[in-house]
Structure 1
Amino acid sequence: MPRRGLSLAVLIVNQLLAGVGVASGIAVAALLVESLTGTAILAGLSQTSSVLGAGLAAVPLARLAVARGRHVALACGYALAVVGAGLVIGAAVSGLVVLAFVGLAAFGAGTAAGLQARFAAAEVAAPGFEARSLSLVLWATTIGSVAGPNLADAGDVLGQALGLPPLVGPFLVSGAVFALSTLLVSTLLRLPPPGTLAADAQPEASALPAAPLVGDARDRSAAGEAATSDPDGVGEAEPEPEPAPEPSPGAWRALRIAVRDPQALLALLAIVCSHTIMVGVMVMTPVHLHAHGASLAIVGLVLSIHILGMYGASPVMGWLVDRVGAAGVIAAGGIILFVATVIGILAPADDLLLVPVALGLLGLGWSAGLIGGSALLTRAVAPTLRVPLQGASDAAMNFSAAIASAFSGVLLGFGGFAAVNVAALLVLVPLAIGWARALMSRRAAAPRESHGAS
């Protein structure tokens, strides 16, 4: 059995390393692709390649977690990132542009593994502390995300000292850090069976939803059959064999089951919509600011405020989820995102005060949506559905982010920064509908539960 404190500490340290690995490479990826292709148009696809790679890796890593354990899946994700860093270095040396995009896609597996580490943190948490453990792992990303770009220059110096082309050295740093992450999780990390929470053994715990878990009907049916096998209680009962563990469904089947339940659907919408809004606005903010005369220092400051909003308040969001519930935090996140996008629509193009405020709120709303949605996703479905559904949700959030980043440039050229924020505002509509539907479902279930208790 895992030691929960040690496992959480390993996850936090490893998330810090993964943050360094991702940030140090991505910081120069667009510049490296531009130097290889000679055009800024293809350089913009570097981020898209990495995001798509993360989306493509999410479901296979979830399947591997079910088959071999979380530590194996995380180690394979980080190992793929090492391979990706090596391919990018090879592309720079050989001049093969296609190899760079393939490498960046493999590099995105490190991001996918980092996202799935938050669910591993919930699985080692004490009952009632799942969201806080999850948020601590996300918070560790703050340190890595800040330190990574600052290591890019030192990595470039190292790479050129080794005879590599300019801008390649940071991927040496990324590859080394991800190799250390692979070693760390494969040797030190031991976790409960994927999808298992400590609270599962305590059905009376307040952290669990009062309504039946989605996908748990067969378990309840089996329990009913066992209870009626000897109704009179007479005769010598034959010992019944232990039931075989229920096989975990595929990611897309789990997704089809979950979307029929209002609570699980709200969790999915919170994760996907929050991430889509954040990426769609964030990727165009530097372009918008630079086009209106902002210096690179101002652009960097605005992005730092945004990252601080994303990760700095993570422990607070986790505490709030465990104290007041995931639905309330998701609602707060939606309101914050609404305010952020409205500021983005109304702010004058040359206003260098309101845009940083909007970006900070954008990161804060993302934090509330992601942590609230992730915590609800672990609590609203049966254990056999958790891991495949987590993989499907991570794939969906990355694919939607890739689409948002691709269309945001078109919207910026068509209608400016206001148009980008209007599109983000529209993404809030399905989240609001999902929240209202989940609330009505809980209110409708409350009288039935009280009647059954009486």
Structure 2
Amino acid sequence: MDTQNSFELDRQIRRNAFVLMSANAVNASILPIAVTLGGLAGFYLLGADKSLSTLPITASTLGAALTTIPAAMLMGRIGRRKGFVFGASPAIFGCLLATFALLQGSFWLFVISLFLMGMSNAFNQQYRFAAIDAGSPSVRTKAMSLVMAGGMFSGIIGPQTVILTNGWLGPVPFIGSFLAAAGLGLIGLLIASQVRDVVPPRPVETLLDAPKGRSLKVIARQPRFIAAVLCGISSYALMSLVMTAAPLAMIGCGFSQGEAALGIQWHVLAMYGPSFFTGRLIVRFGKDRIVIAGLALLTACALVGISGISLAHFWITLILLGLGWNLGFIGATAMLAETYRPEERGKVQGLNDFLVLGSAATASLLSGKLIGGPGWTFINMIVFPVVILSLVALTWSFVLRRSSGGEKA
């Protein structure tokens, strides 16, 4: 590719990054609404047995996990723009279904509605991959960070939507917030329609003739792949475990729904706010060091979580949790990009998100069981062995890369 064409491609990548950031800001705001209200609404809808109160949040994460591979494959066939527009639709329908489920008092219908919201979240996960489809390495890394930074605005939009609209259409709680979330989904769909495909989708008839690359079995054997996926799983699953339990723990300690929503707001801001400069940190210090910093912040989060149950303890725990997720997850995503070739992109990204979100779904389900059993302190204690396992995998990958002179896909 000559210099002029390369410059034009980088310009398109930067333009797309701003559109993707805006779409992410709006569409991702539905997730903190679901997280803040999912467990509380489940608690409200259930009878005497409250052990399944976090099942709606688990359904959301499971919906994302099961849709990741189909979402990646669909975008390879129809392109990013059409894929993002299509992917916003289940969230809109899910939010409308949630309002109906609350009116009917149906717990299981509410679970299905959050599953649909999770399906859209699988398409939202592709925003960061769309930013690195093409372009020079430095532009791609910065574009991915900018797209992820859109989530910072979702951390304001989502919780503030809960605070401002939760009292609408009473006396049934939560209905106004989910109606407002449906409106946000529609706005996000319109923004996503402005994305441009920098990598043209392949016609259906050429898919069978396209180079397939290596098998997933071969790719997954790479120590770098194992370390990247394990660090991504650890960052996301621990975030899901602690975040899902936090609103229930806060309510159980006598704090209000508004205080719980503000805690989630600070958490989501911490998740996405550093993304404005995470890419630059990766370029300067390297992916491994950034992932290690993320794991260290997750450890600090757990230490604060077990040290007290005041409002400040909860909020600081959630802030450190968000910061640790940001560095750990973005760093792991950048590591993953080293392990596949262009023709292997879709299947590897899909497998990664399936494993990461599947683990997060399991963590959120366990969170509901654990918060009603061993409790908040035990949940935070789980962070320590998971972090140690990730550090072992990262060290193993680093040693092998050094001994082999660098490992490339």
Structure-2-length-normalised TM-score: 0.85
Q: How does 1:233-272 map to 2 (within 5 A)?
A: 245-247=210-212, 254=216, 256-272=217-233
Residue 175 of structure 1 is aligned with which of 173, 176, 182?
182
Structure possessing the higher radius of gyration over alpha carbons:
1
Tell me if structure 2 keeps the 8 A contact 1:24–1:150: no
Establish whether residue 374 from structure 1 lines up as the match of residue 333 from structure 2. yes
- Of the three residues 144, 153, 161, the one matched with 1:134 is 144
Q: Is the 8 A contact 2:38 2:56 kept in 1?
A: yes
Residues 46-71 of structure 1 show CA distances to partners (whole Å, capped at 9, x for unaligned) of: 21111111111111101111222222
Shift in alpha-carbon separation, 1:360–1:95, aligned structure 2, 3 A: closer
Whether 1:21 aligns to 2:30 is yes
Structure 1 residues 187-214: Cα deviation after superposition (integer angstroms, max 9, x where no partner): x211233899xxxxxxxxxxxxxxxxxx
Q: Distance in 2 between matches of 1:344 and 1:31?
A: 21
Q: Give the 3-state SS of the residue equivalent to 2:212 in structure 1.
A: coil
CA RMSD of aligned residues (A): 3.1
Aligned-pair identity in percent equals 27
Name the structure 1 match of 2:97. 87
Tell me how far 1:371 sits from its aligned partner: 0.6
Stretch of structure 1 that moved more, 102-111 or 177-186: 177-186
Give the whole-Å Cα distance in 2 for the aligned partners of 1:444 and 1:173: 55
Matches within 5 A, 1:113-152: 113-152=123-162
State which of 53, 57, 64 in structure 2 corresponds to 1:54: 64
Alpha-carbon spacing, 1:418–1:445, altered in 2? closer, same or farther (3 Å): same
The residue that corresponds to 1:334 in the other structure is 295
Q: Does 1:106 align with 2:65?
A: no
Which of 322, 331, 348 is equivalent to 1:389?
A: 348
**TM-fit CA distance, 1:124:** 5.0
SS at match of 2:28: helix
Is residue 2:389 matched to residue 1:425? no
Which residue number corresponds to residue 238 of structure 1?
A: none
1:95 Cα deviation from its structure 2 partner: 4.8
Uncovered stretches (5+) of structure 1, i.e. residues with no partner: 197-242, 450-454
Q: Determine whether 1:404 maps to 2:363.
A: yes
Q: Distance in 2 between matches of 1:77 and 1:436?
A: 37
Cα distance in structure 2, aligned partners of 1:121 and 1:287: 35
What displacement does 1:293 show?
Answer: 4.7
1:274 lines up with 2:235 in the alignment: yes
- The structure-2 alpha-carbon separation of the partners of 1:82 and 1:99, relative to structure 1 and needing over 3 Å to count, comes to same
Instruction: State the AA in 1 paired with 2:218.
Output: I
Letter in 1 for 2:187: L
Post-superposition shift, 1:32? Answer: 4.1
Give 1:11's aligned residue: 20
Partner of 1:225: none
Per the TM alignment, residue 294 of structure 1 is displaced from its structure 2 partner at its CA by 4.6
| 2:345 partner letter | R
Flag the 1:354–1:180 CA change in 2: closer, same or farther, 3 A.
Answer: closer
What TM-score, normalized by structure 1, do the two folds share?
0.77
- Count of aligned positions: 393
CA displacement 1:129-180 (0-9 Å, x = unmatched): 32221121111112122222322355456657xxx96532322222222223
Distance 1:98 1:20, change over 3 A: same
Instruction: For 1:48 and 1:28, locate their aligned partners in 2 and report how far apart those are by CA, in whole Å.
Output: 13
Corresponding position: 1:184 with 2:145: no
The amino acid across from 1:185 in the alignment is A
Change over 3 Å in CA distance of 1:371–1:92 after alignment to 2: same
CA distance in 1, matches of 2:184, 2:104: 24
Looking at structure 2, the residues matched to 435 and 57 of structure 1 have their Cα atoms a distance apart, in angstroms, of 28
Cα distance in structure 2, aligned partners of 1:338 and 1:431:
12
Q: Distance in 1 between matches of 2:407 and 2:330?
A: 29
1:193 aligns with 2:199: yes
Q: Which runs of 5+ in 2 are unaligned?
A: 1-7, 203-207
Residue 239 of structure 1 is matched in structure 2 by none
Structure 1 residue 353: Cα displacement: 4.6
